[in-house]
Amino acid sequence: MAISVEENGRLFNLHTEDSTYQMYADECGVLLHTYYGKRTEGENLTGLIYQADVGFSGNPEEAAGNREYSLDCLPQELPSDGVGDYRESCISLLHEDGSMAADFRFEGYEIFPYSYKVEGMPALYDNGEETGETLVITMREKASNAAVRLFYGVFEKENIITRAVRVENRGKSGIVLAKCLSCCLDYQFGEYDLITFAGRHVMERTPERSRIRRTKLEVGSLRGTSSHQYNPSVILCAPETTEDSGECYGMCLAYSGNFTACAQKDQRGQTRALMGIHPEKFSFRLGEGDAFDAPQVILGYSDSGFAKLSQQYHKILREHMCRGKYQYTKRPVLLNSWEATYFDFNKEKLVALAELAADLGIEMLVLDDGWFGKRDDDNSGLGDWYVNEKKLGGSLKELGERIHGLGLKFGLWFEPEMVSEDSDLYRAHPDWALQIPGREPNRGRNQLVLDMSREDVRDYLYGRLADIVENAGIDYVKWDMNRSICDIYSHQYAGSRNGEVYHRFVLGVYDLMERFLNRFPDILLEGCSGGGGRFDAGMLYYSPQIWCSDNTDAVNRLEIQYGTSFFYPLSSMGSHVSAVPNHQTGRVTPFRTRGHVALSGSFGYELDLNKISEEEKAMVREQIKDFRRYDSLIREGDYYRLAAPGGRFCAWEFVDGKKEHALQILVMTSAEGNPLPVHTVVKGLLPDKNYRCSENGRAYSGKTWMGAGLTLHAVPKEYESVLIEWEMVDR
């Protein structure tokens, strides 16, 4: 059993293969967090807790005068608020009498031999033989009728522990939940760094590493989505941790809306890290019998560096978060019309593109923005999900038939959550948009946001999407979302429960996606929010691939895909070969390099095939062969970051599950005269087996390759790339 309970139901150990997470409900009923780290035998580690009389850190009544017992100093699972723990809390309550206090004590526990679900939200699920286990600990508020159920999931082999929180109002008087974070990690000892993934539109998820001190470190989003600016995933690690050594912990939120992730040392040098829905612009009213569910945090632990941590996340997200037919089915190589035509297309143009695509071995044409309503630029038409047959020169069904007739699949772009003021939908239902009466709304891309918390809005969208997808025989949907959300005011709640709207918006999006996928289980959904503005574990529950960034420049993509790879599997990263000069940066890179970079994600093209040379067309055919040849190795193998972007070159490697085959890709990112050698390390081979390297034909033992590495004798020129393989041989 991965979960063990001892000492009269008060000591809880969650064991994975390499880690142990321990809690103890002490004599005061406080749920202590006693340990998270390398696997132990489950011994009671409350002895690690050092207690002392700390001035200005008070004592709860149950401590019976013991001045060494203070909530302000103890490591806890559900830190109280307003009753003596002055550090960041997990949960805040506002009671009907106006008081603000949340003081939870242990009530009981249950264990289930399967994974728990989170109401209305994504969560890791059991997969055939591989099931998780669940521990539920119930905590009771001392002076009100609020109760909290803490859910802990354990995926033993995968080294993953999850946590989610349910708050219940078991009484008659109303309670306002002013804050409800999903997870708190308290570390009593040690120095830690916090790694966050920050960025901006077209430049997402660059790792930033900072020492955790007493000054609070915090990242988050108040944009209604998980955002380009900060990702809802962070790493805590020892200062000396590298790719291959040292302890590290991952915190990854399965949620696509506002979030916070913060870490801080307290007065005694203890580190507290928290993650969950951002408490700003949040409040949730719980009437009698109501409950609130906070999203799941996926915790990972590695005692040997970031590579292993990432591999654990890749596996768990691929196998227990992504769902549906395309979880394992090979993804079609696609051609997306966006950077090929933008808004300027008609049936002839699209069919001509599809014919060329089919001839080159591409398997799907995706018609991006511009096929509906009045939509020749991005100022109008959103919400009017009716095919613009005049622009197209026929129906979408006819176009679909032509495309299918060429042996291609047919994909279509939608942006369901948005509305243009210049649209029939907005003219008919202005109250369906989020906007504050009496204020001019803030416009993003000249569009407003629909109130996805409303069922009537979702019903309309579901009806339109289903009708179009069914009629035109659509095989793939790109679900886009192109602005940040503000002006929070739902006409449905007439403003009185606006603190709930950001969260209800996310629940509404999940609900619509779930309904859509239930109706069309074979559709491949690709998530997108101006590229990677909603690249999070929650979205992977619905869309096994997400357009990684609107930046298709191969060199910028090295950074973006590098940062994304710390948590998210390569199979989830939408990555396309596009034209040069690149539309976002103006940079010119070789076609081959663009292919190698796109190959390390869910592969496709996004350029006008009429404009590429015969030589490049031949390369497309070769690249598609490579994509098929390396498909499982790249998308299911173990991934290693070898050389980070920012140096002379960037390199990474894949090793298959049996460790018989490895593949390295290296891109030169700067050039110099009289170049110095390029030397790479090799990782993940079996030390006692022999491997032949495609670069120099030599066969050495895995041990030798991993110790000595490889020198490239022809140093690639700027932006050139090389692809090197190692095959296991008898020698």
Contact 588, 717 (CB under 8 A): no
Among 159, 447, 482, 484, binds ligand DGJ (CB under 6 A): 482
State the minimum distance, in angstroms, from the CB of residue 415 to ligand DGJ: 7
Contact 701, 690 (CB under 8 A): yes
Tell whether residue 417 is a contact of ligand DGJ (CB under 6 A).
Answer: no
CB atoms within 10 A of CB 380: 18
Amino acid at residue number 498: N
Contact 183, 297 (CB under 8 A): yes
State the minimum distance, in angstroms, from the CB of residue 479 to ligand DGJ: 10
Residue among 217 and 350 whose Cβ is closer to ligand DGJ: 350
Contact 553, 507 (CB under 8 A): no
State the minimum distance, in angstroms, from the CB of residue 197 to ligand DGJ: 19
State the minimum distance, in angstroms, from the CB of residue 482 to ligand DGJ: 5
Tell whether residue 227 is a contact of ligand DGJ (CB under 6 A).
Answer: no
Residue among 528 and 655 whose Cβ is closer to ligand DGJ: 528
Tell whether residue 479 is a contact of ligand DGJ (CB under 6 A).
Answer: no
Cis link prior to 581 (omega < 30° from 0)? yes
Which helix (DSSP H) or strand (DSSP E) does residue 466 occupy?
helix 455-472
Which single residue brings its beta carbon nearest to ligand DGJ? Answer: 369
Contact 42, 13 (CB under 8 A): yes
Tell whether residue 255 is a contact of ligand DGJ (CB under 6 A).
Answer: no
Tell whether residue 103 is a contact of ligand DGJ (CB under 6 A).
Answer: no
Tell whether residue 530 is a contact of ligand DGJ (CB under 6 A).
Answer: yes
Among 293, 421, 480, 559, binds ligand DGJ (CB under 6 A): 480
Tell whether residue 476 is a contact of ligand DGJ (CB under 6 A).
Answer: no
Q: Dihedral sign, CA of 488, 490, 495, 499?
A: negative
Tell whether residue 547 is a contact of ligand DGJ (CB under 6 A).
Answer: yes
Contact 258, 222 (CB under 8 A): yes
State the minimum distance, in angstroms, from the CB of residue 428 to ligand DGJ: 23
CB atoms within 10 A of CB 511: 18
The residues that bridge with 606 in the sheet, in sequence order, are: 578
Stretch that binds ligand DGJ, among 136-144, 309-317, 525-533, 582-590 (CB under 6 A): 525-533
Stretch that binds ligand DGJ, among 88-96, 101-109, 216-224, 527-535 (CB under 6 A): 527-535
Stretch that binds ligand DGJ, among 38-46, 54-62, 262-270, 524-532 (CB under 6 A): 524-532
**Distance separating alpha carbons of residues 614 and 333, to the nearest angstrom:** 20
Among 151, 187, 372, 413, binds ligand DGJ (CB under 6 A): 413
Catalytic residues, which ones? 536, 616
Tell whether residue 578 is a contact of ligand DGJ (CB under 6 A).
Answer: no
**Distance separating alpha carbons of residues 96 and 103, to the nearest angstrom:** 16
**Distance separating alpha carbons of residues 172 and 164, to the nearest angstrom:** 25
Concatenating the DSSP letter of every residue in 330-383 gives PPPPEEESHHHHTT---HHHHHHHHHHHHHHT--EEEE-S-SBSS-SSTTS-TT
Q: Which residue has the tokens 């190959």?
A: 599
Among 333, 360, 528, 558, binds ligand DGJ (CB under 6 A): 528
Give rounded-to-5 percent helix, strand, coil for the chain: 20, 35, 45
State the minimum distance, in angstroms, from the CB of residue 532 to ligand DGJ: 9
Residue among 141 and 421 whose Cβ is closer to ligand DGJ: 421
Q: Which residue has the tokens 């809690």?
A: 23
Among 156, 243, 363, 368, binds ligand DGJ (CB under 6 A): 368
Tell whether residue 550 is a contact of ligand DGJ (CB under 6 A).
Answer: yes
Q: How do beta strands 476-479 and 409-414 pair?
A: parallel
Tell whether residue 453 is a contact of ligand DGJ (CB under 6 A).
Answer: no
Among 106, 338, 432, 562, binds ligand DGJ (CB under 6 A): 338
Tell whether residue 695 is a contact of ligand DGJ (CB under 6 A).
Answer: no
Tell whether residue 654 is a contact of ligand DGJ (CB under 6 A).
Answer: no
Length of the chain: 731
The binding site for ligand DGJ (CB under 6 A) comprises 338, 368-369, 378, 413, 480, 482, 528, 530-531, 547, 550
